[in-house]
Amino acid sequence: MTNMIRNALAAACLMLAAALASAQSRDLPDFTDLVEKQGPAVVNISTTQVVHAMRGGPQFQSPFGDDDPMAELFRRFGQHPMPGIPHDYESKSLGSGFIVGADGLILTNAHVVNDADEVLVRLTDKREFKAKVLGADRRTDVALIKINARGLPVVKLGDASKLKVGEWVVAIGSPFGFDNSVTAGIVSAKGRQLPQENYVPFIQTDAAINPGNSGGPLFNMRGEVVGINSQIFSRSGGYMGLSFAIPIDVALDIKNQLQTNGRVSRGRIGVAVQELTKEMAESFGLSKLEGALVAKVEKGSPADKAGLADGDVILKFDGKAVAQSADLSRYVGSTRPGTQSILQVWRDGKLKTLTVTVGEMPSEDAKPGGHPGKRRGKAAEPQASNRFGLALSDLTAEQKQQAGIDNGILVEDVRNGLRGDLQPGDLILGLMHKGVQTEVKSVEQFNSLLGKIDKSATLTLLVKRGEAQVFVTIKGVGEK
């Protein structure tokens, strides 16, 4: 009887273990079907660029090889190269891409094919084709290339807006040249803003991405492309857990424009914006830390014609909330030139609605002119520091003309423990307090305004610094 019980218990334990293993296997994702169906549409891209350079003349060669200590001695101290000789050499690089058209249309990163003299595409069946670059957009890092082929496998395209943080994703590409390598991870974050990247709300993942993965697809678990793997954050040059992909909707908009026009047209309204800080939001009378602060409106620009002013905070663009300044750049950039758009702005403690006709961004940034922050002519004598610890002086007519401003005062020195971002040489153009902005015309007027403000208050000032115009905050010490 004891043996029967023991055997029954052993059988039950085995059944339970098998059930647990089966349940666990069901919980873990299986990528095999996805890779089998979508993998053939992922390609390897290799590029060649002819580089023109100067090569040094012959150097000492030891008969005992490079390990000879005398060779090192001569290389360091005794032997000097001959004058440089012009020569050309080929620079090669690797990347990935994916087929979006059965007739040979392929999406990849702009940085994969930029400046390449030859682009070679290799399919999973080992066929190779020379590709033509139909267009590349550096601002979003998206490029469209084409090979002369028919009946090619094509990826399924998804909707990046439906991605959820924590969702499984799969990357396929050619890291370090290893074709069709598959890595997996989860969506770590959405809408990431990276330095110097204003037009792409990146998808952040922890899928392993390395050099050579650039331009490859990021799939969701339904086998749909939701992004183009573009960048990694790394201190070593390799994967460190932070990978960034361009949402597929952004890439498709660029693809359609490149395919139709061979170039990308972007909207602009002619404003310089900056991020709001908590202190600035309080000065502007905003209850929430949101919006894009207009630091400068370009004269004659669409924003200027629409009535937008320095110090306005843009809260919505065509009904879409502007949570941070980068949102505005993205919304405006994706709007077709000539479109009439509605702006909701915060001005002097009130909501205001403006209509702006979006202009077109030039293909190249205009070259900056002179440096308006340089002062010419003798400045007025600086006054003693005011109650906020600022030594200020009025501007001469020549200084105003050179700086391109009608009014303002000069910061000569910052004293008495004043805390903030103000610097000597700054030109103060405006003062924002309790949601109301006042133009600064003279030191006397500015000090009079300060006399009505508690010395411990945090102030927001509109400042011209060199060629830039920004808002800064300062905080005094002590009480009035």
Reduced DSSP (H G I as helix, E B as strand, rest coil) percent helix, strand, coil of the chain, to 5: 20, 40, 40
In 3D space, the residue among 229, 204, 230 whose CA is nearest the CA of residue 217 turns out to be 229
Annotated catalytic residue, options 137, 141, 394, 426: 141
- The answer to whether 214 is annotated as binding is yes
Among this protein's residues, is 87 annotated catalytic? no
Among this protein's residues, is 341 annotated catalytic? no
Please tell me whether residue 289 adopts helix, strand or coil conformation: coil
The tally of CA atoms less than 13 A away on the side-chain side of residue 211 is 9
- The answer to whether 253 is annotated as binding is no
- The answer to whether 386 is annotated as binding is no
Annotated catalytic residue, options 46, 174, 181, 214: 214
The CA distances from residue 313 to 106, 145, 298, 353, 431, in Å, are 41, 41, 16, 12, 15
- The answer to whether 141 is annotated as binding is yes
DSSP element (H, E) containing 317: strand 313-317
Annotated catalytic residue, options 111, 301, 421, 442: 111
DSSP, res 406: S
Please tell me whether residue 403 adopts helix, strand or coil conformation: helix
Give the Cα separation of 302 and 84 in Å (integer).
52
Supply φ then ψ for residue 185, to 5 degrees.
-170, -160
Question: How far from each other are the two terminal CA atoms of the chain, in whole angstroms?
Answer: 94
CB 243 within 8 A of CB 196: no
Q: Which residues contact 126 (CB under 8 A, 6 or more apart)?
A: none
Among this protein's residues, is 141 annotated catalytic? yes
- The answer to whether 180 is annotated as binding is no
Q: Answer positive or negative: Cα dihedral of 317, 321, 325, 328.
A: negative
Give the residue numbers of the binding site for substrate: 111, 141, 212-214
The residues annotated with a catalytic role in the active site are 111, 141, 214
Known binding-site residue numbers: 111, 141, 212-214
